[in-house]
Amino acid sequence: MSETVRLTTAQAIIAFLKRQYVECDGKGTRFFAGMLGIFGHGNVAGIGQALQQNPDFRYILVRNEQSAVHMATGYAKASNRLATFVCTSSIGPGATNMVTGAAAATINRLPVLLLPGDIFARRNVAPVLQQLESANSQDVSVNDCLRPVSRYWDRIYRPEQIITALPEVMRVLTSPVNTGAVTLALPQDVQAEAFDYPEEFFRDRVWVIRRPKADAQSLARAAEVIQSSKRPLIVAGGGVIYSQASEALATFATATGIPVGETQAGKGSLSFDHPQCVGAIGATGTLAANRLAREADCVIGIGTRYSDFTTASMTAFQSPQVSFVNINVAEFDAYKLSAVPVVADAKAALEDLKPLLDGYKVSETYSSQVCAWKREWESEVDRLFHLNAQPLPAQSEVIGAIWEAAGPRDTLVSAAGSHPGDLHKLWRTRTPGGYHMEYGYSCMGYEIPAAIGAKMADPSRNVYAFVGDGTYLMAPTEIVTAIQEGVKIVIVIVNNFGFASIGGLSAALGSNGFGTEYRQRSSSGELDGDKLTVDFTANARSLGAHAIHAANLGEFKAALEKSKTTDRTTVIVVETNRDLRVPGYESWWDVAVAEVSENDSVKKARHDYETARKRQRYFL
């Protein structure tokens, strides 16, 4: 018989997690960097005691459980999904706080392990504090809220169940196809119960990240479609980044001359100055990429799930002859848009497809058009970076100043509001990982904790978190965690007195920005009084950060240089002109407009909406 070791369930979980490794292309790394969380009655005596017993498994005390999941997600994204954190919470509000973070991780296909406490498995103590009672079942708790936002979900009722559950946890977390948030709900009494676990359960385990290759027939069909095309276009998604296929894509694009547009997750697949890189595509795309998409007769999607932003709500690709080739490790995505599916790892597929296209090159006419539109776009970026707006700078000028101050390997983190659209268009990414955007869920509050995670994943990079005043007010408290852990990031707060992005959208839909500005309630009873004044620098300083207020663009640039010499997380606050917006470039996004209204501006918006919808297509 094998030897056993007597441990509590919680102790055994930590002992197992400490010994999990991943290997990709022969390079191995420890998968879990440690645990993030907050202790309560549902996990302090179990997971908390186990962590105290294992000081080599780093524990970081955070300020909010949702932020903990964002921090882990940011770390996983910056690590190309080869490493992550575990997140723990008590039962109750701590657990439900993690739901939003779990949704962001799963939608963005980034691995995070959640270990929320749970109600007593033995049930004789009920209702326990924070227990949600159900008249229909005793087998339910608030942790069931995590089921739809988890790739794998389980509740552990007996100590020995983790022997079969934890390998399944690792299978999902390390899967290129099915990764996301994984939840193990841990009843607080079970966490503290002991069991004689087999010693071999705690041996070092290496999970190999496979690079599945495409079958020959699919590659041949894909090559045939591409060779017959005159105006092909590549859409590079997050799968290019995660499979570390940037070099293979650059080689492929150079050899064929095919231009490359990038999704939010795929931005950075090529350096912005690569001749074939035409930048962002879709609803937040560049004029170069969107013009090429409109006329493309073959679209080669690599590692993209074709969100509605990427397809401009199914209006981006207008050629009657357009066909699709989709390279994706996930079969579900490879078959989208009635494409020729190539179910394979992005890097492996590109390397196998290139020899089949030997001798193929786009025409000189097409190549010249790509170059001309790319030059036109770069001139537009230069213009937006240097508007010389007075007295307040435009947001595009702020972005330009950050880009000019940042190094080639530095990382910009953002997630919501007008920032993803402007950054997708304007940020000139130079290396993979330099653009860190959470836009699968566009979750306000992601930015600061994710920036901390990204910095911990690669301390050699400077990391900038780009947030609006609305986002900052939602979740500034992880600044305290950054100070606690000695993690230095630079946070840029763009103050435009409210939700400028949704305000602009509201205006475009005929609703005049209703309810989107930070104003006092006036005597009329409406929120149309004086602007609310918040001292962001004082707030950030109170949380331990070095804080700088920039009254104009010149002071902002000086503050960016100053931030490079500070000894801790630095917050720079700059007010911008919310009416100086980056234009849309021959794209559209489907946001429904009221069909009936007494407002003339809404009526006009509805007419324009119905006209635009006529461009939407099915690809059958």
For residue 501, pLDDT beyond 90: no
Supply the pLDDT for residue 513: 79
pLDDT tens digits, residue range 378-425? 999 999 999 999 999 999 999 999 999 999 999 999 999 899 999 999
Whether the model pTM is above 0.85? yes
Number of residues written out for the chain: 620
Mean pLDDT rounded to a whole number for the chain: 96
Q: How far apart are the first and last CA of the chain?
A: 60
> With respect to CATH, is domain 386-497+532-575 assigned 3.40.50.970?
yes
Q: Which CATH number fits domain 4-208: 3.40.50.2000, 2.60.40.10, 3.40.50.12160, 3.40.50.970?
A: 3.40.50.970
488 — phi, psi (to 5°)?
-95, 120
- pLDDT range class, residue 502, cuts 50, 70, 90: confident
Mean pLDDT to the nearest integer, 195-200: 98
CA distance 538 to 542: 6
- Spatial contact of 132 and 181, defined as CB atoms under 8 Å apart: no
Query: Is pLDDT of 217 > 60?
Result: yes
Pair 253, 245: CB distance under 8 Å: no
340-373: pLDDT as tens digits = 999 999 999 999 999 999 999 999 999 999 999 9
Q: Is the peptide bond before 55 cis (omega within 30 degrees of 0)?
A: no
In this prediction, residue 506 carries a pLDDT of: 79
Mean pLDDT for the stretch of residues 60-82:
98
Q: What percent of the chain has pLDDT over 70?
A: 100
- 516 pLDDT exceeds 90? no
Higher model confidence: residue 511 or residue 572? Answer: 572
What would the two tokens of residue 298 be?
């073959």
CATH 3.40.50.970 placement within the chain: 4-208, 386-497+532-575
User: pLDDT tens digit string along 584-616?
Assistant: 998 999 999 999 999 999 999 999 999 999 999
pLDDT at 1 (0 to 100): 57
Per-residue model confidence as pLDDT tens digits over 94-111? 999 999 999 999 999 999
* Cα angle value 410/175/148 (rounded, 5°): 95
pLDDT attached to residue 91: 93
Residue range 296-316: mean pLDDT, rounded: 97
Is the CATH number of domain 216-376 3.40.91.50? no
**Residue 511's pLDDT is what?**
80
State whether residue 252 is helix, strand or coil.
helix
Q: Is the pLDDT of residue 260 over 90?
A: yes
The closest alpha carbon to 464, from 417, 552, 534, 401, belongs to 401
Q: Where in the chain do CATH 3.40.50.1220 domains reside?
A: 216-376
Q: Are 273 and 434 in contact (CB under 8 A)?
A: no
The band of 528, judged by pLDDT with boundaries at 50, 70 and 90, is confident
Stretch 166-187: mean pLDDT, rounded?
98
Average pLDDT over residues 236-265: 98
The CA angle 394-395-398, to the nearest 5 degrees, is 100
Is a pLDDT exceeding 90 seen at residue 517? Answer: no
- Alpha carbon 263 to chain centroid, angstroms: 12
Asked if residue 414 lies in contact with residue 77, where contact means CB atoms within 8 angstroms, the answer is no
The three-point CA angle 160-164-169 to 5° equals: 120
- CA angle 263/32/415 to nearest 5° reads 30
Query: How far, in Å, are 40, 89, 175, 467, 486 from residue 63 at the CA level?
Result: 13, 11, 30, 19, 15
Neighbouring C-beta atoms of residue 196, cutoff 10 Å = 12
